[in-house]
Amino acid sequence: MQARLISALFLFGIASHWLVAAEPEKNEYQWKLPKGFPKPYVPADNPMTAAKVELGRYLFYDTRMSVNGKASCATCHKQELAFTDGRGIGLGATGESHSRGAMSLVNVAWSASLTWSNPEMKSLEKQALVPMFGEHPVELGLREGDKFLPTLRSDAQYRALFERAFPEDADRFTIANVTRALASFERSIVSARSPYDRYHYERDDNAISDAAKRGEILFFSQHLSCFRCHGGFNFTDATVSGRNPERAVEFHNTGLYNVPGVLSYPEPNTGIYEYTKAREDAGKFKAPTLRNIAVTAPYMHDGSIPTLEGVLDHYAAGGRAITSGPHAGNGHDNPNKDPLIGGFTLSAQDRSDLIEFLKSLTDEALLHDPRFADPWPKAKEKP
């Protein structure tokens, strides 16, 4: 009897230990990534927590994040458009236009570099400062020392959110903590539930149409070679992960323009030349993810191609010919054009199949997922 009791206590001890060990660390973020998706790189000074993600979501959708209360991050990054804005070029809170379009934030946790053409911008925390405080152009229009932080501090809801997100900080209401929370929310926006994911990773042959399957084969073919710049699970060549946090990002001149002059691309959108000042870098931009591409029109860095069909025509021609106006020129002959942009022929069937494949990358669940939706009551959007 005593032996049985000792055995039972021993087993209880083991079970208790196992239960404690199996319980996630308090506040640890659960990625719940599907097969094929590596754990993202997360900077050591901003570990993911559910509390930071939640605070980041409130900040992301808060129009008090702008100089005049008219814009938030979500103004240019709308969930239903895969966190783009449907515009060719962005529009700031004060009405100032950006020169480039808002990039999708989907799967940005795996981005080796951020923005269209800044090879040095690799931190979501640092990048958040650009729309917040940038002046060329003004996006949200905040200024250091203005009422933004006191406003957050005076809000009871934010006091609770900041306390949960940064419980050990003496002063929680700092710009650094705001950007940490925003970056955490952005990292949480994972798109992995498209029909293509069900076909490719879950082997559900009925998840996509035969046309999309034919389109996939074309996409990955030698003939078209789309995958060379838009490859991997995230359909881009600028992907990093927790295991491989460093990657030399390639930027590509796709022959979109060929204007007279030494730079061949119309200013101010000269690509990474803006940072490297090397002429051969003019017109080189990052290859963005193609996930959800069907809902992120218009396309290219300046939104100058309105449809996916137009994008296919551009690549099939090996560059865009503009016959009149200030940007007239044949992009096919751009001196910095990536050799991969050689052009190809497509039958009408091929074209249609490729479009179907690209549409199969749309993650409808993401576009309506309440975890990424505006948490504010509607009235608070327009204070």
**In the complex, minimum distance from the CB of residue 198 to another protein, in angstroms, rounded to a whole number:** 13
For another protein, the binding residue among 87, 214, 332, 351 (CB under 8 A) is 214
Q: Say whether residue 353 binds another protein (CB under 8 A).
A: yes
Beta carbons within 8 Å of 97's beta carbon, 6+ residues apart: 89, 90, 91, 137
Neighbours of 117 (CB within 10 A): 22
The count of residues in the chain is 383
For another protein, the binding residue among 13, 36, 95, 335 (CB under 8 A) is 36
For another protein, the binding residue among 241, 264, 334, 360 (CB under 8 A) is 241
Q: Say whether residue 204 binds another protein (CB under 8 A).
A: no
Q: Say whether residue 184 binds another protein (CB under 8 A).
A: no
**Alpha carbon separation from 79 to 31, 106, 241, 371 (Å, rounded):** 19, 9, 24, 11
Q: Say whether residue 217 binds another protein (CB under 8 A).
A: yes
Q: Choose the stretch contacting another protein; rule: CB under 8 A; options: 46-54, 214-222, 296-304, 333-341.
A: 214-222
Q: Say whether residue 200 binds another protein (CB under 8 A).
A: yes
Q: Choose the stretch contacting another protein; rule: CB under 8 A; options: 22-30, 45-53, 217-225, 286-294.
A: 217-225
Show contacts with another protein in window 109-138 (CB under 8 A): 110
Give residue for tokens 């379009």: 101
Beta carbons within 8 Å of 233's beta carbon, 6+ residues apart: 36, 37, 38, 239
Measure the CA–CA gap between 297 and 101, rounded to whole angstroms: 10
Neighbours of 13 (CB within 10 A): 10
The nearer residue to another protein, 140 or 293, going by C-beta atoms, is: 293
Q: Give the interface size with another protein as a residue count (CB under 8 A).
A: 29
Q: Say whether residue 219 binds another protein (CB under 8 A).
A: yes
Q: Say whether residue 349 binds another protein (CB under 8 A).
A: yes
Measure the CA–CA gap between 307 and 22, rounded to whole angstroms: 49
Measure the CA–CA gap between 233 and 219, rounded to whole angstroms: 14
Q: Say whether residue 231 binds another protein (CB under 8 A).
A: yes
- Axis crossing angle, helix 50-60 with helix 156-165, rounded to the nearest 10: 140
Number of continuous H segments (helices) and E segments (strands) in the chain: 15, 4
Q: Say whether residue 32 binds another protein (CB under 8 A).
A: no
The nearer residue to another protein, 353 or 363, going by C-beta atoms, is: 353
**In the complex, minimum distance from the CB of residue 17 to another protein, in angstroms, rounded to a whole number:** 30
Q: Say whether residue 177 binds another protein (CB under 8 A).
A: no
Measure the CA–CA gap between 286 and 238, rounded to whole angstroms: 8
Binding site for another protein (CB under 8 A): 36-38, 110, 199-200, 203, 210-211, 213-214, 216-217, 219-223, 231-234, 239, 241-244, 349, 353
